[in-house]
Every structure is written in C-alpha cells, then in structure tokens.
Structure 1
Amino acid sequence: MTLDSYRDHVKPIIDPVVSACIRLKITPDCCTAISLVAAAVAGVGFYLSEIGIGTLCILLNAIFDALDGSIARAMNIQSMRGDFLDHTVDRYADIFMICGIFAGPLCPWQVGVFGLTGVLMASYLGTQAQAVGIGRFYGGFLGRADRLILLIGAGIASLISSALIIGMSIFAWVLLIFGIFGHITAVQRFIHVWKQL
C-alpha cells in the first residue's frame, strides 16, 4: 500500500498551513510552480553533490505538491486544468530530481535510467486508468509519496555517511528500488485496469 492512501491522516497538519496560504493569497497554481522550481533546484543540487540542498528542495517539493490540491479544495476551485497542470509538473519534477542524481556522481546512469523508467511507467498507468474511463488508480507498491520519502531518507542518510553499500551509494540503491518496484507497480496497475475493461 502506498503512502498516497494516507493523505487524510495528515489533514490536521496540512489544514492550518492551507488556511495561512489562503490568507496570504497563495494560489494552487503558485504552489505548483514553487514545487517545480524546488524539484529543478534539487536536481541541480544533486548533480553538484550538494546533498543537503537537494534533500531540502525535495522536502519543499513534497510540501508544495501537497498544498496545491489542498488549497484548491479548500477554496472550492478544483478544475480539470489544475489537475492536468499538477500531474504534468509532477512528472517533470520526477525527471529533474532523478536525472540530477544519476547525471552526477551519486549514481551510475544505467541504474538511474532504470529507476526513471519505473517511476514514469507507474505514474503513467495511474493516470491512464482515468483516461480509459476506469477512474484514477494509485494502487501498487510504490506511489509518489513513497518515492519522495525514500529520496529524503537517502539524502539524510548520505549526509550522515557516504559509505558505499555493496559498491553502490544509498541514492543508487534507492533508484534501483524505484526501477524494480516502479515496474511492479505499473504491472499491478495495468492488471487492475485490464480487469475493469
């Protein structure tokens, strides 16, 4: 089960922040844009081996990605356009962060590309379910919230110790997990949708 299914449990923490954003006239689209910038800076940070900056920016990406939809619901201004923008930005954010990790010295590019394909295919199958009329489906082993938590954890662990584990960095192992469980998640989502058609 992915962490995405536990969104309601963090609502008491998010709600006061959402209220503050509304008072400050921060729009959902503004939060979406900030999340994209944070992801891009994270990618650059990882590429330059600035792990602290990269990890902090992933945390900012996660926060603002959670806020955009919450603010839209609180203001009752949800729209298909906003949803489309959010999902587009999320995919670019994934690309920025993961490419930043494997374009630099933190991870072999082969492992990084494998991880990226797993992430993109899992995400694609989640939204493709909606495109064929089944409704959006986010089941499976590895959702976006899970990936962000793993990346933040890898960043913190790497700041504590840069030791290799069986010849690979912590980031390389995380991207390997993204590849393996991302593709498993894609298959799980495919099977779910296929059975509904």
Structure 2
Amino acid sequence: MTLDQFRPYISGVLRPFVNGFDRLGMTPNGVSVVAFVTALGAAGAFYLGGASAQWWYAAASLLVLLNGWLDVVDGALARKQSVASRAGDMLDHVLDRYADVVIIVGLAAGIEAYPLGIAAVTGVLLTSYLGTQAQAVGLDRVYGGLVGRADRLALIGLVGFLAVPLSGAYGGHGLVWWLLAFLAVVGHLTAIQRFYYAWLALK
C-alpha cells in the first residue's frame, strides 16, 4: 500500500491550508506552479548538498516535502472552488513529472552519478506513465504498487535529512547513491507491477 492511497483521509488536515490559499485568491493552477518552483529549489539544493556543503540537503528535504504537500493541496483547492477540469489535471500531472525529473537530476548531479540518475528517472517516469495509461485505456487511474509518488517524496525527504549528520567518510553521498539505486530498481518494478495489474484487468 502506498501513501497516495491515504489522500481521501487527510481532508481535515488540508482544510486550513486550502482555506488559506482560497482567501489569498490563489487558483489550483497557481498552487501547482508554486509546487513546481519548490521542486526546482529542491533540485538546486540537492546539487549544492552533493557538490559543496551537505547542510543543503536539509533545505532540499524541506522543499521536497513542501512540493508533495502542495501537490495534495491543489486538488483540494480545485474541488473547493468548483473549478476542477481536465486542463488543470493535465497541468498538474505535467508539472509533477517535471518536478520528479529535476529533483532526481539534482540528486544525481550533486554526486556525479549520472548513469544511476538516468535509471532512477526512467523508473519514476514509467511508474507514473503506467498509472495514467491504465486510465487512458478505460481503467481507473492506478496509484498502487510498491512505491507511489507520495512514498517517493517522503523517502527523498527523509534521506536528505539523514544525509546531513552522515557527512563523514561514507557520508551523505553514499546514502544518496543508495537512494538513487532504490528509486531505479523499485521504480521499474512498480511500473511492471502496474502494467501487470492493467493487463489482467483488460483481458
């Protein structure tokens, strides 16, 4: 079970944030754009954490967690304002995919693990693609599997925080390397799992 499946149960926690954005005159699309900006900031901070001072990893983690939180808020805000649309849904998903890419690129570039970064990015993108492709062929959108987006962001945020105190000889760089390896392997496994679920449902 992935954290994405708990989205329907956190409406009470979301309400103050949704109401706050609504009072500020923010639109769901505006929140989606702000979320993407936090992902860009996280990518830059992850790069600096690997290339210079590892305390940047903590800043990156905060921005990653904020990105994930805003990704939940924008949908709730759309429902509150009764402006949910296919265009808004598409914008949200496109920005989410770009956010996933830039965050992983920042992680990989900081420790110069480019082949592993490519493997992680392709795994993450295929996981998301298979989730929405199921919907495109007439099934419900698939959020399940080993690791969903919420799980991934929570794990990246946790590793970023742990990388700061582990900045010794093995250090945060090693932890980030293992994170990228995990994202690569589990991302592709989750994509295959989602494909298998959709394939059985369509037969």
Matches within 5 A, 1:133-172: 133-163=138-168, 169-172=174-177
**Contact (CA 8 Å) 1:111, 1:175: kept in 2 or not?**
yes
List aligned pairs for 1:81-96, cutoff 5 A: 81-96=87-102
- Superposed CA offset, 1:138-179 (max 9, x none): 110110000000011001101222246699621211111111
Identity %: 42
The answer to whether residue 75 in structure 2 is matched with residue 69 in structure 1 is: yes
8 Å CA contact 1:4, 1:145 repeated in 2:
yes
C-alpha distance in 2, partners of 1:185/1:116?
A: 13
- What letter corresponds to residue 40 of structure 2 in structure 1? A
How far is 1:100 from its partner? 0.6
Deviates more, 1:86-95 or 1:70-79: 70-79
Matches within 5 A, 1:1-197: 1-49=1-49, 50-105=56-111, 108-163=113-168, 169-197=174-202
Q: In the TM superposition, what is the alpha-carbon distance from 1:111 to its structure 2 partner?
A: 2.0
* TM-aligned CA deviation for residue 185 of structure 1: 0.8
Per-residue deviation, 1:132: 1.2
Partners of 1:168 and 1:26 in 2: CA distance: 38
Question: Does the C-alpha gap of structure 1 residues 48 and 113 become closer, same or farther in structure 2, counting only changes over 3 Å?
Answer: same
Whether the aligned pair in 2 keeps the contact of 1:102 and 1:109 (CA below 8 Å) is yes
Alignment check: 8 A CA contact 1:163 1:169 kept? no
Are the equivalent residues in 1 in contact too, given 2:162–2:172 (CA < 8 A)?
Answer: no
Distance in 2 of aligned mates of 1:2 and 1:108: 27
TM-score, with length taken from structure 1: 0.93
The alpha carbon displacement at 1:136 in A equals 0.8
How far is 1:23 from its partner? Answer: 1.4
2: distance between equivalents of 1:87 and 1:167? 30
Question: Secondary structure, in 3 states, of the residue corresponding to 1:160?
Answer: coil
- Structure 1 residues not aligned, in runs of 5+: none
Paired positions, count = 196
Summarize the Cα distance change of 1:177–1:165 in structure 2 as closer, same or farther, 3 Å threshold: farther
**8 A Cα contact 1:164 1:170, kept in partner:** no
Give the distance between the partners of 1:125 and 1:7, measured in 2 at CA: 20
* Cα offset, 1:44, TM superposition: 1.1
- Tell me the distance in 1 between the aligned counterparts of 2:168 and 2:130: 36
SS in structure 2 opposite 1:134?
coil
Structure 2 residue runs of 5 or longer lacking an equivalent are: 50-55
CA distance in 1, matches of 2:146, 2:169: 26
Q: Is the 8 A contact 1:162 1:169 kept in 2?
A: no
Kept after mapping to 2: 8 A contact 1:40/1:96 = yes
